[in-house]
Amino acid sequence: MQDNIVKIEGLSHRYSKDWAVQDVSFEINKKGIVGLLGSNGAGKSTTMNILCGVLSQTRGQVLIEGIDMRAAPEEAKKRIGFLPQNAPLYLEQTVDEYLTYCAHLRLIEKPRIKAAVDAVKEKCGVAHFSKRLIGNLSGGYRQRVGIAQALIHKPLLVVLDEPTNGLDPNQILEVRQLIKEIAIDRAVIFSSHILSEIQATCQDIIMIEGGKMVFKDTMESFNNYIEPDSLITTMENPPSAAVLMAIPGINEVVFLSENTIRMHFDPTADIAESIVEMSVGNRWRLKEITLEKSSLDAIFAQLSNKKLKPVLQK
């Protein structure tokens, strides 16, 4: 029995002379949601296309429940449901017609097709649109139909490339909830370049930047990846910005109000201790001091700018 559904080793691929992905390796468990994060052009879609058998890699190995995608692609693909960034929908078909067609493509036995279509329509909340043309559905419901085709054969792994792209806020919340329900009994890979989407949906995260894997760990670890680099202070008798800027290690001072100040500092400096000591000596009357955690945007910016720390593994 395999402990994982996906095992990728030394995955590399190049288009002409340019490497899109280089030496990417990771494993994914059989349940839960893994976020695949990276900026546009980072190599996410290439990785997913190889993982799903759409593209053949230059080097490396992809195993789906122990089955080599290159050696036995049909068997490996039976275990995967894939929704690419541009959903493969036929707008002139009804929901029923399209899902029935997808069931045939997935080699579902003819007597089981109607039950499979009905089950996946119910799961994805599109049963009441069975006879409606897909072209007449809203963006959110089109995306649900796209997810339905990825689920119709009950795959062990579902791969979703930017599934909330172009949706309005309400539709995004609905699709997020659907993805969480899907992941109860299978593995889901959820790709996005939007940090808040990964944060709201995923338990684990893999980050690819410049074609290389730069991070793999839990969402919690990712949120705490960079040390705090700013603090908020409240003082009854605060000094001027110039006085604070003269403290070694402080890079920026912003007065949020007359008594509340945000100070950005070099993470290697022990600014909090310096502020406390100077407040006592200069009677600034410090009332509160709070370190601020770096936002996901700050983490993403640092990694994207190639200021990389070693890859973190579980």
CA dist list (Å): 134 to 81, 88, 125, 195: 20, 11, 14, 30
The CATH code for residues 230-293 is: 3.30.70
Which tens digits make up the pLDDT trace of 181-236?
999 989 999 998 887 788 888 999 999 988 999 889 988 887 776 666 788 999 99
Question: Can you tell me the distance from the alpha carbon of 163 to that of 267, in angstroms, rounded to the nearest whole number?
Answer: 36
Pairing of strands 80-83, 157-161: parallel
Pairing of strands 4-15, 59-64: antiparallel
Residue 67, token pair as written in the block: 């089955």
- In the predicted model, what is the mean pLDDT of the chain? 88
Give the CATH superfamily of 4-223: P-loop containing nucleotide triphosphate hydrolases (3.40.50.300)
Q: Report the pLDDT value the prediction gives residue 171, as an integer from 0 to 100.
A: 87
- Band of residue 311 on the pLDDT scale cut at 50, 70, 90: very low
Which has more pLDDT, 175 or 95? 95
pTM, full prediction:
0.75
Question: Can you tell me the distance from the alpha carbon of 186 to that of 236, in angstroms, rounded to the nearest whole number?
Answer: 55
Domain boundaries, the chain: 4-223, 230-293
Are the C-beta atoms of residues 20 and 188 closer than 8 Å to each other?
no
Burial 229-258 (b: 16+ CB within 10 A, else e): bbbebbbeebbeeeebeebeebeebeeeee
